[in-house]
Each structure stands twice: as structure tokens, then as C-alpha cells.
Amino acid sequence: MRDFPSCFGENGVQVADSSSSSTTKAAQNLVTCVYQCKLRGRCCLISITWTKHLMGQGLSVAIDDSSNQCLCKVDIKPWLFSKRKGSKNLGVDSSKIDICWDLSNARFGSGPEPLDGFYVAVAFNQEVVLFLGDLKKEAYKKVDTALVSSNAIFIAKREHIFGKKIYGAKAQFFDKGHMHDVIIECDMVNLKDPCLVIRIDSKQVMQIKRLKWKFRGNHTILVDGLPVEVFWDVYNWLFGNAMGNAVFMFQTCLSAEKLWANQSIFDPSLSTWSYSQSFRDYQLQGLGFSLILYAWKNE
């Protein structure tokens, strides 16, 4: 199996000890969104990775086929000293892939992802297969094609979040569903028996007591009236070094029995990237949407 980070760009995070928490936080400040589409009838994954550094915002676009082969990848370096607008034309198997972007007027919040005023488009033989942003006319004009809808399906999101007690993210678990606020709360300061609480839109949906005994596990919650399986691994928070992170996954359309029958995603022998590779393999099987959160403690 090919190494997971190699297709998601050179900004892949290596989980290791660091002498500076601020350095670790900067290195981990990234969000990867994975979209499934069809190129010439075959299933492919397009991975968009947004990064935020002291040098500015960065972007990586990778296209991977179902056999884990990276067809092409474009890394757009942090743009403090580079252009925020451009395009790449690539040849893959006698076909033409165009990757275009314009973030010159993009508006950003606190995270790496732009909010509006931008576009990123991927076209296969002048057919747009993925479009992100709100400047659709500009994007389609750039790739010289008609205004048609992309066929990409949003299947996974991997995000790094930070906090001392409360960690937050936003997610849309189902196609055309509502955008939800996901809050993870865990206070372990001077507590002999810490407790893990998860809230969706301020409503408590899960509470795990005796966390030192239940540092890994899974639980089913309801979101928009539909089941979502929650998996957690907080071993590093409780027993690892101060720079360790917890891992959470919110998975739709996948039973716990099916997941554990394939491989325990929280096997202690696996690295954080191995977790990600397992999640990604399940996505290729068409098993729903995954939100993967790496929660890092701020000092």
C-alpha cells in the first residue's frame, strides 16, 4: 500500500516530539478535503489540502486512482512571495487535466480554508469534475468550457483542531444536509476521572465517563435523524507525551461491526497516518462520509 502522505502533498504532518509547541501547531495547521469523481469511467479521488503557515496560505491538489496510485499532484506554496492565481496543465494517460485557482481576493477566517472570493477547479479533457468556491464564471472561463456541474462527491475531511479543554469544528455529514457545529470537550486538569463530552449544535449527544478505562471506543449518535458512528482514541492525551494528539472520527453509513471486522482503526501499533489510510480505504468502498479530527492540546 502506498504511503498516505505522499499523495496528500509534502505538507503531510509527521507526529513527533517537538521542542516548540508553536512550531508543532504551525506544522499541523491544515485541512484536507477528499472528493470522489470519475475520470474516463474510473473512480478517482481528488484531495484538496489547505495549509496555513507563518509565510501565508498554501494549497495542494492531488488526484489518486482507486489503486492508490497518484496520477498527478500540484503544490502551491504559501503565497507571501508568490502569486495567488494560476493554472497547471498536466497530461495523464493521453488525457488532459487542468488545475486552475484564483485566491487573489479570497477571504479567510481563522483556519486554512478560504470562506469566499475564490475558486479552485479541476477539469478532465475540458470537463470540470470538481469546482470549489463562489467564482464559477471565472473558473469555467479559465478552462474554456461550458457551465456544467461537477460530478465530484465530498466523501471525507481531515482537520487538525486545537484547544485546552474545548475543541471545535464544522461539518456537513450528509449530502444536502445542514452544516453543524461539532464540539469536543475534555477537561483533564487535576481530575482523577476525566470525562469526554461531544456536542452537536450545543446539544450533548455523547458522554464517556471513566475515560482512563475507555480511552478508545465507538458510539452511535443521531445527526439529522440519521446514525453517525463516532470513534475516539484519546490515549495520547492520557498516557502519551504533552505534544500528543487525540483522534476522532465521525463516520456515516458504516456499522461498527463492519469496521472492526476489517481492521481495528485504533490499533496501538498503528501510526496516525495509518489511521488516515484506513479511513481512506473505507471511503473507496463507498461507505459514506468521514470527518477525521486530530485534536491537539495548547499549552
Between the ranges 17-26, 145-154, 163-172, 247-256, where is the mean pLDDT highest? 163-172
Domain boundary among 119, 151, 183: 151
- Is residue 157 included in any domain, yes or no? no
Exposed, middle or buried: residue 102 (CB in 10 Å: 0-12, 13-18, 19+)? buried
Residue range 190-205, pLDDT digits in tens: 677 889 999 999 999 9
Residue range 262-284, pLDDT digits in tens: 434 444 444 444 444 554 454 44
- Is residue 22 included in any domain, yes or no? yes
Residues 93 and 37 in one domain: yes
Residue 297: pLDDT above 80?
yes
User: pLDDT category, 208, cuts 50, 70, 90?
Assistant: very high
Residues 195 and 142 in one domain: no
Q: Which residue did the predictor score with more confidence, 21 or 119?
A: 119
Domain that holds residue 27: 4-151
pLDDT of residue 85: 87
Domain boundary among 132, 151, 170: 151
DSSP strand pairing (153-163 vs 95-102):
unpaired
Residues 19 and 142 in one domain: yes
User: pLDDT category, 253, cuts 50, 70, 90?
Assistant: low
Residues 200 and 127 in one domain: no
- Is residue 128 included in any domain, yes or no? yes
Residues 95 and 121 in one domain: yes
pLDDT of residue 149: 60
pLDDT of residue 33: 94
The number of beta carbons lying within 10 Å of the beta carbon of residue 41 is 5
Residues 143 and 166 in one domain: no
pLDDT of residue 130: 92
Residues 253 and 274 in one domain: yes
Domain boundary among 95, 119, 151: 151
Q: Structurally, how many domains does the chain consist of?
A: 2
Q: Which residues pair with 74 in a beta bridge?
A: 61
- Is residue 260 included in any domain, yes or no? yes
- Is residue 156 included in any domain, yes or no? no
pTM above 0.75, yes or no: yes
pLDDT of residue 177: 75
Residue 258: pLDDT above 60?
no
DSSP strand pairing (153-163 vs 290-297):
parallel
- Is residue 185 included in any domain, yes or no? yes
Stretch 11-35: mean pLDDT: 53
Residues 10 and 137 in one domain: yes
Residues 213 and 253 in one domain: yes
pLDDT of residue 160: 93
| Rounded-to-integer distance, Cα 267 and Cα 223, Å | 27
pLDDT of residue 242: 66
Residues 146 and 186 in one domain: no
Q: Which of 158, 294, 163 has its CA nearest to residue 236?
A: 294
- Is residue 268 included in any domain, yes or no? yes
Lowest mean pLDDT among 9-18, 124-133, 187-196: 9-18
User: pLDDT category, 230, cuts 50, 70, 90?
Assistant: very high
Residues 27 and 142 in one domain: yes
| Rounded-to-integer distance, Cα 254 and Cα 42, Å | 23
User: pLDDT category, 166, cuts 50, 70, 90?
Assistant: very high
Residues 103 and 209 in one domain: no
